[in-house]
Structure 1
Amino acid sequence: MMSCYCEICGKEVEKNQCRKIVIEGSILNVCPQCYNRLITQGKARPYVEERKERQPAPKQVAKPVKPRVREEYEVVEDYARRVREARERLGWTQQVLAQKVRESENIIKRIESGRLKPGIDLARRLEKVLGIKLLEPVVEENVSSNHESSEDLTIGDLIRFKRE
């Protein structure tokens, strides 16, 4: 079995499971878990191998594209109360709400009881149908400069630590 090691966590994975990402201009081999975490957090981008022989000559000089800032959202803490009150205000049953958001009635019951936190997609559909706010932007706290958490370190930080 051919294998490779994740350059983030060190885990050994099969060669066909290895993924390539770009972090701060460096190409790294990573395991699927690190790949998904870093891509979804916006800390890395997938590596796309360029094929020079197939690239047509550019006809125009492309304008630089501003990187899109991907805002992350989280569901508010009192989502269950908000959903239930909005549904009752509209005079709907849980079954009617379930049909409007294309989910099962059981899912709506679990959300309203607080046993199931809706995902971002479902929360957006509930917001639209009920006319309420369930999502709020994620606020990142400032990280102190002494890097208490190894999750917030970059490769450059590690290199600086070894020199000190």
Structure 2
Amino acid sequence: MASFCELCGKHTDVSKKVIIEKSIFNVCLSCSRRGKPVETPNSLRNMASSKGTSIAGNMATTRPTYAPYNTTGTSQNSRNIYTRKIISTPPRIKPPPLKKINMMDEMILDHEFPSLIRNARSKKGLTHDQLGQKINEKVTLIRKVETGSIRPDEILAKKLERFLGIKLYVNANEQNLEEDNS
């Protein structure tokens, strides 16, 4: 009996019943590898009793019976063939968060930071290139900070303070006192 494959639509004389994503399809032999073959006790008994007959003869005469689908995912006596084994993946290991340098509200960037950086770099006898390599920053960034065209962020300021041995952040209360005394 000629039929059509329910997956590819090809005309076929031999069809197989397979399970694909919890649905049963009549498919051609080439599409049958995409799913699991449906085997029921009746179809296995019929195949065993009719050894020596062709596959097409078995397929035409055999009408397998199906157990009702259980929504819980397990059969009464054995594991349901419809369920998939869920493989738990190990949790992803997150990298530790970057350390932010928390500045207190009273600490502000010294207004003389360009000259402080320039003088400290000169005292150490370093060029912009050498300083950039030592603290792992771009040379253009160091030049812009040193000319005062940009302000260093907290991380860059701390790097410069540690390497050059200077203080770029001063206490706002102390600076106000010095300005008042002047």
Same fold per TM (> 0.5)? no
Highest Rg: 1 or 2? 2
**TM-score w.r.t. length of structure 1:** 0.41
